[in-house]
């Protein structure tokens, strides 16, 4: 609380100005001086001053006067008194001393009242600006004038409220978690410095630099290319990356340590990249990290990092696990048989079957390992398992499973399966409705339940006997099961052509049980070559948007480069063709998709990585469709999403996504010694904006 000091001089008296309005003023006078000084103060407690006798003032100390005054104040008056900031006191020839507490800034702001402000109108002398005299001072003023001090502008949606229905609410419980905070601050600092093309925002730069432990000098701000000089950038980028890596390890309960390169080692860690699916892009990313060396053998026992196009169970078995995998329980994903999940409560942990990873131990050279495939990932990537897990999860939380999933039947043994009878009953019910309303054609899509990718084995039909024949032939020639889904007959179209949306996610399973999932903010649309038409169900160029199918069409690339569209292109189409609905893709559609993806990770928690391997991660590709009512549907999840750079959009998006994935999924486990960026020509490649955000944490969502 701000207070006013009082002198023990008997000539100094406190008087109450009776002519003042109810916003009482306190007048300080020094009787022995001809000069009178008046500070008109907006204080409510002045009216109480008369209750303190003058004889008491002479005998009481300053602190006692303050305490006695406080006893006479109400709580409301104390609150108003503590908020006054314009109180000024002066020292006059050592006779009147101001209390030092007056000069302290209070945390409470004054409550402004128009009536009282109208009564109080002090005349304050404006300070004249200081004129720089020396050349150095003038240069400093010029730099300050060129530096903006405004906060970073927030990307606010300028669209009116949309008129479409929102079918899924996004989750926001992890928006302010430590990982997301660090990634946001990291991106803000990168935008302010390395990607800045205008004047530097010194205030915000220092704010973020303080968090990351970066010292900002005048040379960086003064020079136009101050943050593009390698000598300046390298130490800054090292601190940024080390801060992210340490945060990731702390959140996974792992110790952060820096390995030093020993004599005899030209490189510190060994990696191997298998063939297929643009493996050169993976090698390029690893070659940018000078602490890694490419190895010729694909044996994880001799490697620190292994990348393969498809999962190799024998390599997964080489990783230590928290729960031992039973020898007799071999999981065969090619079959449609149900696999009993391990019960950790019934399994006794033994060093005979598993190796416990201690996050506090300092691992020796070459002992840390990571694999880019997660055990039992088929719970997400198999169409059968995805459908069953999502259905079970939505029913457990009391939500309708088929509100965001196509209506689905799982057939195990062809037409003799009891589930096929349920499908037949539902099929004819829908057929009657379609004949009455004449709005739909009761079309269904048949897919393999397991090990299906890039449109393989998919058929579209509205004939019951044709569907039955397809199921019987499939059951006779394969051990796999089938999925029958209701075809989305009224999809949202782009220029009369069908499309779907590809979303990238990163799933990490580290330190034997710490599972986290990240959502990549940038994706793309895949369009079909031919106009949508339900009269021709045999033409895959109409109904399947997979690039593996569309690239064989003559019209491939005729309307869009490689039949790909960015989110920005899609937003322009919505603005042009659905302007009346005021749809913002980033505000109205993408959050719904992100919420469905979060549900998918919640549905498979405990089923994916059941034995809690030491360190595994995986990049997954989610495919979504939107109907004419702007309802999103989850179609499938791909374990081996296409990484080809077949157009300028993907040439920019894919490398950036992979770099971000390795920054979060691999680098925290293999942190190099300091100075790893010195003398490197590609320093900018290791410090880009990271577009991942955490959407699932097993400690919170599990």
pLDDT tens for each residue of 15-64: 444 444 444 444 444 443 433 333 333 334 444 445 444 445 444 554 55
Domain annotation covers residue 18: yes
Domain annotation covers residue 26: yes
pLDDT greater at residue 400 or residue 94: 400
Task: Tell me the mean pLDDT in the region 292-320.
Answer: 90
Q: How many separate domains does the chain show?
A: 1
By mean pLDDT, which of 263-267, 533-537, 651-655 is the weakest? Answer: 263-267
Per-residue model confidence (pLDDT) at position 592: 97
Per-residue model confidence (pLDDT) at position 356: 39
Task: Tell me the mean pLDDT in the region 80-102.
Answer: 43
Per-residue model confidence (pLDDT) at position 440: 83
**Cα of 550 vs its chain's centroid, Å:** 32
pLDDT winner (highest mean) among 56-65, 87-96, 156-165: 156-165
The torsion angles phi and psi of 213, rounded to 5 degrees, stand at: 70, 35
Domain annotation covers residue 586: no
Give the residue from 506, 512, 552, 509 showing the smallest Cα distance to 529: 552
pLDDT digits (tens, 9 = 90+) for 508-522: 999 888 999 999 999
Task: Tell me the mean pLDDT in the region 201-216.
Answer: 86
pLDDT at position 568 over 90: yes
Per-residue model confidence (pLDDT) at position 226: 65
Angular region, 141: left φ>0, alpha ψ -120 to 50, beta rest: alpha
Domain that holds residue 37: 12-119
Give me the torsion for CA of 448, 451, 452, 453, rounded to 10°.
Answer: 170
CB 12 within 8 A of CB 31: yes
**Overall pTM surpassing 0.85 (yes/no):** no
Other beta carbons within 10 angstroms of residue 638's beta carbon come to: 18
pLDDT greater at residue 548 or residue 266: 548
Domain annotation covers residue 534: no
- Residue 526, strand partner residues: 500, 564
The rounded distance, in Å, linking the Cα atoms of 346 and 365 is 35
Domain annotation covers residue 83: yes
CB 562 within 8 A of CB 528: no
pLDDT digits (tens, 9 = 90+) for 451-505: 766 667 899 999 999 999 999 888 887 777 899 999 999 999 999 999 999 999 9
By mean pLDDT, which of 126-135, 213-222, 631-640 is the weakest? Answer: 126-135
pLDDT greater at residue 115 or residue 131: 131
Domain annotation covers residue 559: no
Output the average pLDDT for the chain: 77
The rounded distance, in Å, linking the Cα atoms of 502 and 625 is 9
SS3 content of the chain, % helix, strand, coil (to 5): 35, 15, 50
The rounded distance, in Å, linking the Cα atoms of 129 and 131 is 6
CB 690 within 8 A of CB 522: no
pLDDT band at 142 (very low <50, low <70, confident <90, very high): low
CB 556 within 8 A of CB 646: no
pLDDT digits (tens, 9 = 90+) for 658-667: 999 999 999 9
Copy the structure tokens of residue 575: 């603005």
Give me the torsion for CA of 369, 373, 377, 378, rounded to 10°.
Answer: -140
Task: Tell me the mean pLDDT in the region 614-623.
Answer: 96
Domain annotation covers residue 68: yes
pLDDT band at 355 (very low <50, low <70, confident <90, very high): very low
What single DSSP character describes residue 198?
S
Domain annotation covers residue 84: yes
């Amino acid at each position: 609380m701000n207070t006013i000091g009082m002198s023990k001089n008997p000539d100094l008296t406190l008087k109450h100005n009776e002519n003042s309005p109810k916003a009482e003023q306190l007048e300080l006078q020094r009787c022995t001086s001809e000069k009178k000084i008046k500070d008109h103060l907006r204080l409510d407690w002045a009216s109480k001053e008369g209750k303190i006798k003058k004889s008491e003032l002479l005998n009481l100390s300053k602190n006692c006067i303050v305490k006695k005054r406080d006893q006479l104040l109400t709580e409301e008056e104390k609150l108003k008194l503590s908020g006054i900031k314009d109180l000024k006191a002066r020292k006059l020839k050592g006779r009147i001393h101001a209390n030092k507490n007056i000069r302290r800034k209070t945390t409470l702001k004054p409550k402004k009242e128009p009536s009282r402000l109208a009564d109080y109108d002090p005349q304050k002398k404006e300070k004249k600006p200081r004129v720089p005299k020396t050349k150095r001072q003038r240069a400093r003023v010029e730099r300050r004038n060129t530096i903006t001090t405004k906060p970073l502008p927030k990307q606010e949606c300028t669209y009116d409220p949309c008129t479409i229905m929102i079918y899924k609410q996004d989750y926001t419980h992890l928006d302010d978690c430590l990982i997301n905070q660090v990634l946001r601050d990291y991106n803000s600092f990168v935008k302010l410095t390395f990607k800045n093309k205008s004047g530097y925002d010194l205030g915000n730069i220092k704010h973020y630099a303080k968090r990351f432990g970066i010292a900002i000098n005048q040379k960086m701000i003064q020079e136009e290319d101050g943050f593009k000089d390698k000598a300046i950038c390298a130490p800054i980028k090292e601190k940024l990356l080390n801060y992210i890596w340490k945060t990731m390890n702390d959140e996974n309960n792992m110790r952060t340590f820096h390995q030093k390169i020993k004599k005899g080692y030209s490189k510190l860690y060994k990696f191997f990249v298998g063939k297929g699916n643009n493996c050169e892009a993976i090698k390029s990313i690893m070659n940018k990290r000078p602490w890694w060396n490419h190895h010729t053998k694909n044996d994880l026992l001799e490697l620190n990092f292994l990348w393969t196009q498809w999962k190799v169970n024998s390599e997964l078995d080489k990783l230590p696990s928290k729960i031992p995998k039973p020898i007799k329980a071999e999981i065969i994903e090619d079959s449609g048989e149900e696999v009993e999940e391990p019960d950790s409560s019934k399994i006794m942990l033994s060093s005979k079957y598993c190796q416990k990873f201690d996050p506090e131990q300092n691992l020796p050279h070459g002992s840390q390992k990571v694999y880019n495939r997660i055990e039992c990932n088929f719970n997400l990537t198999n169409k059968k398992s995805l459908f069953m897990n999502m259905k079970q999860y939505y029913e457990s939380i009391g939500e309708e499973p088929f509100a965001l999933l196509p209506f689905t039947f799982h057939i195990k043994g062809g037409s003799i399966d009891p589930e096929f009878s349920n499908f037949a009953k539902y099929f004819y019910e829908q057929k009657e409705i379609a004949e009455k309303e004449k709005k739909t054609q009761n079309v269904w899509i048949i897919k393999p339940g397991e090990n299906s990718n890039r449109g393989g084995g998919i058929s579209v039909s509205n004939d019951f006997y044709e569907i039955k024949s397809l199921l019987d032939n499939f059951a006779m020639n394969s051990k796999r099961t089938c999925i029958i889904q209701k075809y989305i007959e009224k999809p949202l179209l782009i220029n009369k052509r069908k499309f779907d949306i590809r979303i990238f996610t990163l799933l990490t399973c580290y330190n034997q049980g710490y599972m986290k999932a990240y959502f990549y903010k940038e994706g793309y649309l895949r369009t079909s070559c031919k106009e949508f038409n339900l009269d021709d169900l045999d033409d895959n160029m109409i109904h399947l948007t997979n690039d593996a199918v569309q690239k064989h069409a003559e019209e491939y690339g005729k309307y869009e480069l490689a039949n790909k569209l960015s989110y920005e292109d899609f937003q322009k189409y919505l603005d042009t063709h659905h302007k009346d609905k005021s749809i913002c893709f980033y505000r109205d559609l993408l959050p719904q998709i992100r919420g469905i993806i979060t549900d998918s990770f919640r549905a498979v928690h405990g089923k994916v990585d059941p034995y809690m391997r030491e360190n595994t991660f995986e990049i997954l590709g989610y495919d979504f469709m939107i109907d004419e009512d702007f309802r999103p549907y989850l179609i499938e999840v791909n374990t081996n999403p296409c990484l080809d750079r077949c157009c300028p959009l993907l040439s920019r998006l894919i490398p950036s996504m992979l770099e971000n994935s390795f920054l979060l999924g691999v680098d925290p486990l293999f942190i190099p010694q300091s100075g790893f960026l010195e003398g490197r020509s590609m320093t900018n490649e290791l410090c880009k904006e990271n577009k991942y955000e955490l959407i699932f944490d097993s400690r919170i969502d599990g």
